[in-house]
A and B are shown apart, each in its own frame.
Chain A
Amino acid sequence: MDANDPVVKLDHVRKQYGSFVAVHEADFAIGRGEFFAMLGPSGCGKTTTLKMIAGFEQPTDGRVLLEGADVSQVPPHKRNVNTVFQQYALFPHMSVFDNVAFGPRAKKISEAETTKRVNEMLDVVRLGEFASRRPAQLSGGQQQRVALARALVNYPSALLLDEPLAALDLKLREAMQIELKRIQREVGITFVFVTHDQGEALTMSDRIAVMSEGRVEQVGAPQDIYMRPQTLFVAGFIGSANLLPGTVASVDGGVIRIDLVGGAQVAVSSSQCADSVDLAVGARVTVMVRPEHAILGNGSEGLAVSVTDTVFQGSSMRIVGRLSNNTEVVALAPIDPSAPTPVPGSQCSITWHATSPYVLGGWPETAGSTTTNVDSIEAAL
C-alpha cells in the first residue's frame, strides 16, 4: 500500500442536491492495495462519496480520479471499479456461475477465459461447488461471497463495498470480517469500504476516513485516529472517551496547563495536542481521556469522583462516576482481586499517565463520557 501511488483520488469533491450539501470538499487519496474505510454515522455522506467513485453520482464540484485519469463524468460501465452492494443485488434468474461471469461476458472476454476466471474466483471465495445454484438457495454469507466474486472477477482497480456486512447477523459478520481481509490479501486489490461500525473499521482497515455531516473529519491509520483524534467528533465517535472541557491557563516549556470547567487544573505535554488547536491563554479546549487510561486512586490526587455505578465486564470493571461539577466520567479498571472494588456512593479519584490525555480544540456539546458504540447507534436508528 502506497499513498504516493493513489488508485482513487478525490480532488476537492463536493456534492449538492438542491440546497442540501451531501459532501463538502472531500479531498483524499486511496493508495494501491489499501484497505480503506469510510466511517461515519448514517447521513454523513460516505455512501454518496462511494457512489461518486462508482459513477452512480457525479460530483457538483471537484474531480474524481481513477488511476490518475479524471473520471468525474464517466458512466459506471466505463469505470474500472466494481461495487459490492449492501443487499448484494445478485441476479436472481442466473446461477452463481452466470452471476460471476456477467462482468467478463459484458466485456466480451472469450468464454474459455471467462470460465477459467470465474472458477478461479469462486475458489477464492470458497464457493466452487455452488456454481450451479441460484442465489436464492444460498445463505446470506454465501450470497455475500458471490457478490464479492462477481465484483473481483473483473480485476477492478478498486473494489467498493457499501456496508457489506450490515445485512449479516453478528456471528457471521465477525467471520466475514476475517474472510474479507483474507480475500483482500489474496487478490491484492484496493478495497474501499463504507461502514457506520467503528469497531469494524478499526479492526479491518489500513486507513480510515471519518466523516460527519458531509465533512471528512480525519483521514489516518486506526491507531492514529484512536490515539490522536483531530476533532471532538472523531474523539467521541471512535471508541469511548471522557471529554473534559476547560480553558488554557498557560503554555510553558512544552507543557500546557488547562483549567477544567469545575475547578481542577491539569497539565498536558504539548506533544499530546491535536494540530492547529488555539492555545492562547483563555482559549477553549477539551482534554480527552480514554476510559482505559483513567487510573483509579484513593482520592489524594487527581480528579475527585463520586462513584455512581460499577459494571463487571469480565476482563475489566467499568466504573461510572461524577466529577464535582456533575460531569459524568467513565473508567475501565482491570480486575484485581486484591484491590477493593469501589462501590456506588463511595469517593475516589482518577489520574492518568502523562502520555494518556489529549488536547482538542473547542468544547464538546456535552461534557464527560461518550459511549459511542455500534449497538447504541443501531438502537438509535
Chain B
Amino acid sequence: MSGALSTRQRNGRRFINGVAIAAMLYLFAPIVMIVLFSFNNPKGKFNIVWRGFTLKNWKHPFASPELTDALLVSLKVAVISTVCATILGTMIALSLSRYKFKGSGVVNLFLVLPLTSPEIVLGSSLATLFIARGTTFGYVTVIIAHIMFQVSFVAVTLRARIRGFDWTLEQAAMDLGATPQRAFWKVTFPLILPGILAAALLSFALSIDDFIITFFNAGSLVTFPLQIFGASRVAIPPQINVLATMILMGSISLMVVGFVLGLRREKITLGTAKSSGK
C-alpha cells in the first residue's frame, strides 16, 4: 500500500505532520521552558536568561518563604472552595438533569452567567458587595468568591457528563427494596463519581490559577498568583519555576492515576478479573 503513494500524497502527509508538530511545539514550548528554567542558575534577581545548569533550586524549593506561604494559602483556599463547590454544584447538576421544576430555566441561565461574564466585572462587583456589607477581606472573602465561579463550573460540566444517565437504574434499585438514599449511594453516585471527580479537579485548577477575582477580594491575603505577579516587578526567583514544575508533575501524576484506574476498570469488564462476589 505505502509503496503506491504518489509524490503528492507523500507531500500532503509531510505537510500535515509538519503542522501537527508546529502545533505541539506551540502548546508545549512554554511548559518546557518552565521546567527547563527551574534548572537555571541565574545571575541577579531575574530568572530570564539561561546561565547554566544547576540543581540548587531543586535542593531548596522553599528557599523563598513568601512564595511558599503564598502557595500554601492558594492550596488551602483551593481545597476548601473545591470541596464546597463540588458538593453544591453536584446537587445543582443532579436536580437540573433529574427534575423539571418551576424556575429550572432561570437556574440554568444564572448558572451560565458567572462563566460568561468578564472576571473583572465579577471581581469588582463582588468586592463592592463585601465593602458595602463591611466584610473584612481575607480567607473568607476569597473562598466565597472562588466557590461562586466554581459552583457554576462544576454544575455545568457535570450536567453535561450525566446527560443521558439512565434514571430507571434508580427506579430498579428502589424496586429491589433499596431506600431512595441507598439507591443514590449504591447506584447513582458510583456511576457519576468519575464525572464529579473530573469537575472537581478542573475547578481546583481554576481556583489555584485565579488572579483577577482574587485580586479584588483578597485584601492582605496573598495567594500564589498574586505573589508571583507582585514579585515579578522586583524579582523572578527560579523557585517559581520549581514550584510550578511541582504543580505540573502533580497534575500529570493525577492524570496517570486516572488513566491506570480506567485501564483496570476496562480489564475487569473484559473479564480478566477472577472470583465472583464482592
With A93-B190, A106-B182, A134-B268 as contacts: A77 and B175 at CB distance below 8 Å:
yes
Which residues of chain B (227-276) have a CB below 8 Å from chain A?
Answer: 268-271, 273-276
Asked whether any CB of chain B lies closer than 8 Å to the CB of A208, the reply is no
Q: Would you call A85 and B171 a contact (CB within 8 A)?
A: yes
For A87, the closest partner residue in chain B by CB is B168
Asked whether any CB of chain B lies closer than 8 Å to the CB of A182, the reply is no
For A129, the closest partner residue in chain B by CB is B276
- 20 additional contacts, CB 8 Å, given A77-B177, A102-B173? A56-B175, A76-B174, A82-B175, A85-B168, A91-B169, A91-B172, A91-B173, A97-B277, A98-B278, A106-B173, A106-B177, A106-B178, A106-B186, A115-B277, A131-B276, A132-B271, A133-B271, A134-B268, A151-B176, A154-B176
Asked whether any CB of chain A lies closer than 8 Å to the CB of B126, the reply is no
Chain A 12-55 per-residue mask, 1 if CB under 8 angstroms from chain B, else 0: 00000000000000000000000000000000000000000011
Q: Would you call B178 and A89 a contact (CB within 8 A)?
A: no
With A87-B166, A134-B269 as contacts: A102 and B178 at CB distance below 8 Å:
yes
Asked whether any CB of chain A lies closer than 8 Å to the CB of B187, the reply is yes
Question: Given the complex, which residues of A lie within 8 Å of B177, measured CB to CB?
Answer: 77, 103, 106-107, 154
Which residues of chain B (92-110) have a CB below 8 Å from chain A?
Answer: none
- In the A-B complex, the 3 residue pairs with the closest CB atoms: A131-B276, A103-B176, A89-B172
For A150, the closest partner residue in chain B by CB is B176
For B193, the closest partner residue in chain A by CB is A93
Q: Would you call A85 and B172 a contact (CB within 8 A)?
A: yes
Question: Given the complex, which residues of A lie within 8 Å of B183, measured CB to CB?
Answer: 77
Chain A 77-91 per-residue mask, 1 if CB under 8 angstroms from chain B, else 0: 100011101010111
Which residues of chain A (296-331) have a CB below 8 Å from chain B?
Answer: none
Asked whether any CB of chain B lies closer than 8 Å to the CB of A203, the reply is no
Residue in B179, B191, B276 whose beta carbon sits within 8 Å of that of A132 in the complex: B276
Asked whether any CB of chain A lies closer than 8 Å to the CB of B219, the reply is no
Question: Given the complex, which residues of B lie within 8 Å of A76, measured CB to CB?
Answer: 171, 174-175
Chain A 110-137 per-residue mask, 1 if CB under 8 angstroms from chain B, else 0: 0000010000000000000001111011
For B278, the closest partner residue in chain A by CB is A98
Chain B 135-179 per-residue mask, 1 if CB under 8 angstroms from chain A, else 0: 000000000000000000000000000000010110111111111
6 contacts across the A-B interface (CB closer than 8 A) = A77-B176, A77-B183, A83-B171, A90-B172, A93-B191, A97-B277
Instruction: Give the distance in Å from the alpha carbon of A169 to the alpha carbon of B164 in the complex.
Output: 24
Instruction: Give the distance in Å from the alpha carbon of A78 to the alpha carbon of B196 in the complex.
Output: 31
Q: How far is the CB of A138 from chain B (nearest CB, A)?
A: 10
Chain B: interface residue total (CB-CB under 8 A)? 29
Q: Would you call A75 and B269 a contact (CB within 8 A)?
A: no
Asked whether any CB of chain A lies closer than 8 Å to the CB of B180, the reply is yes
For B277, the closest partner residue in chain A by CB is A97
Question: Given the complex, which residues of A lie within 8 Å of B173, measured CB to CB?
Answer: 91, 102, 106
Total A-B residue pairs with C-beta atoms closer than 8 Å? 80
Question: Given the complex, which residues of B lie within 8 Å of A89, measured CB to CB?
Answer: 166, 168-169, 171-172
Instruction: Give the distance in Å from the alpha carbon of A137 to the alpha carbon of B266 in the complex.
Output: 11
| A interface residue numbers (CB < 8 A to B) | 54-56, 75-77, 81-83, 85, 87, 89-93, 95, 97-98, 102-103, 106-107, 115, 131-134, 136-137, 150-151, 154
Question: Given the complex, which residues of B lie within 8 Å of A136, measured CB to CB?
Answer: 269
Question: Given the complex, which residues of A lie within 8 Å of B178, measured CB to CB?
Answer: 77, 102, 106
Instruction: Give the distance in Å from the alpha carbon of A115 to the alpha carbon of B269 in the complex.
Output: 21
Q: Would you call A83 and B175 a contact (CB within 8 A)?
A: yes
Question: Given the complex, which residues of B lie within 8 Å of A83, measured CB to CB?
Answer: 171-172, 175
Q: Would you call A132 and B169 a contact (CB within 8 A)?
A: no
Q: How far is the CB of B264 from chain A (nearest CB, A)?
A: 13
Q: Would you call A137 and B176 a contact (CB within 8 A)?
A: no
Q: Would you call A77 and B179 a contact (CB within 8 A)?
A: yes
Q: Would you call B190 and A137 a contact (CB within 8 A)?
A: no
Q: How far is the CB of A125 from chain B (nearest CB, A)?
A: 15
Q: Would you call A91 and B175 a contact (CB within 8 A)?
A: no
Question: Given the complex, which residues of B lie within 8 Å of A93, measured CB to CB?
Answer: 190-191
Q: Would you call A137 and B276 a contact (CB within 8 A)?
A: no
Question: Given the complex, which residues of A lie within 8 Å of B273, measured CB to CB?
Answer: 132
For B190, the closest partner residue in chain A by CB is A93
Q: Would you call A132 and B175 a contact (CB within 8 A)?
A: no
Q: How far is the CB of B181 from chain A (nearest CB, A)?
A: 10
Q: Would you call A77 and B277 a contact (CB within 8 A)?
A: no
Instruction: Give the distance in Å from the alpha carbon of A91 to the alpha carbon of B168 in the complex.
Output: 10
With A92-B191, A102-B186, A137-B270 as contacts: A132 and B176 at CB distance below 8 Å:
no
Question: Given the complex, which residues of A lie within 8 Å of B278, measured CB to CB?
Answer: 98
Instruction: Give the distance in Å from the alpha carbon of A54 to the alpha carbon of B276 in the complex.
Output: 30
Q: Would you call B174 and A75 a contact (CB within 8 A)?
A: yes
For A97, the closest partner residue in chain B by CB is B276
Instruction: Give the distance in Å from the alpha carbon of A97 to the alpha carbon of B273 in the complex.
Output: 14
Instruction: Give the distance in Å from the alpha carbon of A73 to the alpha carbon of B207 in the complex.
Output: 47
Question: Given the complex, which residues of B lie within 8 Å of A87, measured CB to CB?
Answer: 166, 168
Instruction: Give the distance in Å from the alpha carbon of A242 to the alpha carbon of B179 in the complex.
Output: 52
Question: Given the complex, which residues of B lie within 8 Å of A115, measured CB to CB?
Answer: 277
Instruction: Give the distance in Å from the alpha carbon of A55 to the alpha carbon of B273 in the complex.
Output: 37
Instruction: Give the distance in Å from the alpha carbon of A95 to the alpha carbon of B273 in the complex.
Output: 11
Instruction: Give the distance in Å from the alpha carbon of A204 to the alpha carbon of B230 in the complex.
Output: 80
Instruction: Give the distance in Å from the alpha carbon of A353 to the alpha carbon of B275 in the complex.
Output: 65
Which residues of chain B (17-55) have a CB below 8 Å from chain A?
Answer: none
- Looking at B269, B270, B276, the one whose CB has the most chain A CB atoms below 10 A away is B276
Residue in B169, B176, B277 whose beta carbon sits within 8 Å of that of A82 in the complex: B176
Q: How far is the CB of B100 from chain A (nearest CB, A)?
A: 14
- Looking at B168, B180, B274, the one whose CB has the most chain A CB atoms below 10 A away is B168
